[in-house]
Amino acid sequence: MTEKKEIVVLVGGCFDILHPGHIIFLQKAKKAGDKLVVLLESDEKIKKLKGTSRPVHNQKERSLVLKALRFVDEVVLLPNIQTEEEYDEIIKKIKPDIIAATYGDSQNQYKKRSAKLVGAKLKLVTKLIGNYSSSKILDR
């Protein structure tokens, strides 16, 4: 009797202020496989992407919140990555079967390239959900 291979789904992001859009995305990503792994961006990267007042929660705090979700199996704390090659090395170590993404995500071209690198599928699991955005929440 052969053991069924576990299907690993990989997602990535900042997940600074967890909102319903994040939850729905992560739930749908988990349904695409057996194990959901989240790559969690560094505080330095978020500061560079979203401004000096971000992140609201540091990487360790964001990880704690994500790990508390029953559908998240593992959180990988990313260092301050500067190049695509650095992401590639991490993706090669994880060897996901699926990289889950959102329709219309500006990063999908990179996710598609990463999927091809390890023979994974890029699976678009959801559209942008509502008008949720950590940045918009903070602007209120």
Residue-wise pLDDT tens digits, 103-135: 988 889 999 999 999 999 999 998 866 565 555
- Is 76 part of any domain? no
Q: State how many domains the chain has.
A: 1
pLDDT on residue 130: 59
Q: Give counts: helices (H), strands (E), the chain.
A: 6, 5
Residue 57 included in any domain: yes
Give the pLDDT score at 119.
97
83, part of any domain: no
- Give start and end residues of each alpha helix (H) in 5-131: 20-31, 43-50, 59-67, 84-94, 108-118
Whether residue 8 lies inside any domain: the answer is no
pLDDT at 106: 82
Does residue 77 or residue 4 have the better pLDDT? 77
Q: What residues make up the domain containing 43? A: 19-65+90-139
User: Does a structural domain hold residue 95?
Assistant: yes
What is the structure's pLDDT at 14? 93
Whether 120 maps to a domain, the answer reads: yes
Residue at 110 is within a domain: yes
Condensed to tens digits (0 to 9), the pLDDT of residues 13-56 reads 999 988 888 999 999 999 999 999 999 999 999 999 888 989 99
Whole-angstrom Cα distance, residue 79 to residue 103? 26
Residue 75, in any domain of the structure: no
